[in-house]
Amino acid sequence: MRLDIAEHDALIVVDMQNDFMPGGALPVPGADTIVPTLNRYIERFEERALPIFFTRDWHPKTHLSFRQNGGVWPEHCIEGSEGAAFCEGLHIPSDNRFIISKGVSEEFDAYSGFQGTPLAALLNERGTRRLLVCGVATDYCVRHTLLGAENLGFRTLLLEDAVKGVDLHPGDCDAALREMMRKGAILCRYEDIFDR
């Protein structure tokens, strides 16, 4: 496959936060291992002055998704906490990047970076038409963010060397990848887009 990035492309880095790293509150196995690859994508976008959006889970302590509040997840990504901070080594450029907080009010959860956020408006404002999606977790927030993008009419590339999933039920990640492809996503790797 031969692809390139150009005007109208944006990079979406999903939920690369301490609590989703090994040792965090809601760890995604191997999530830390994709940081170098994510940084290479981020640097290519930075070089070409293309926008990069970092989503983050950003919950109040009273969030409905937490077990103690009747939800299914352990407490994670409490707004302002170390667990909610972006993970060690992730390159966050100083320009042309946007941080999108989601799940910020106690009565709503958001697996998709589009839910209850200005993400779509910011992309439309810039004339973005295609999104390159990476981060964690393949079978939760990456999946929902990418499907949200397809529903809104963006074209999507899923960067398969820069995602990690949970696979709570074995096969969840494969099923998520197949679902994303059915909805229009193209799966690709760094070498499909950039020279080594």
Catalytic residues: 15, 102, 141
Which residue's CB is nearer to Zn ion, number 32 or number 57? 57
Q: Which residues 6+ apart lie within 8 Å of 161 measured at CB?
A: 34, 37, 189, 190
Question: Among the candidate windows 85-93, 132-140, 149-157, 177-185, which touches ligand VGL by CB under 6 A?
Answer: 132-140
Distances (CA, A) of 42 to 49, 51, 133, 146: 10, 9, 11, 18
The distance from CA 173 to its chain's CA centroid, rounded to whole angstroms, is: 15
Please check whether residue 57 is in contact with residue 141, taking contact to mean a CB–CB distance below 8 angstroms. Answer: yes
Please check whether residue 86 is in contact with residue 101, taking contact to mean a CB–CB distance below 8 angstroms. Answer: no
- Residue 73 binding ligand VGL, by CB under 6 A: yes
Which residue's CB is nearer to ligand VGL, number 153 or number 171? 171
Among 15, 57, 75, 139, binds Zn ion (CB under 5 A): 57
Which residue's CB is nearer to Zn ion, number 24 or number 51? 24
- Residue 32 binding ligand VGL, by CB under 6 A: no
Identity of residue 38: L
- Residue 19 binding ligand VGL, by CB under 6 A: no
- Residue 137 binding ligand VGL, by CB under 6 A: yes
Among 51, 57, 117, 193, binds ligand VGL (CB under 6 A): 57
Q: In sequence order, what DSSP letters do the residues of 172-196 get, joined into one string? A: HHHHHHHHHHHTTPEEE-HHHHS--
Residues that bind ligand VGL (CB under 6 A): 15, 20, 26, 57, 73, 136-137, 140-141
Residues that bind Zn ion (CB under 5 A): 57
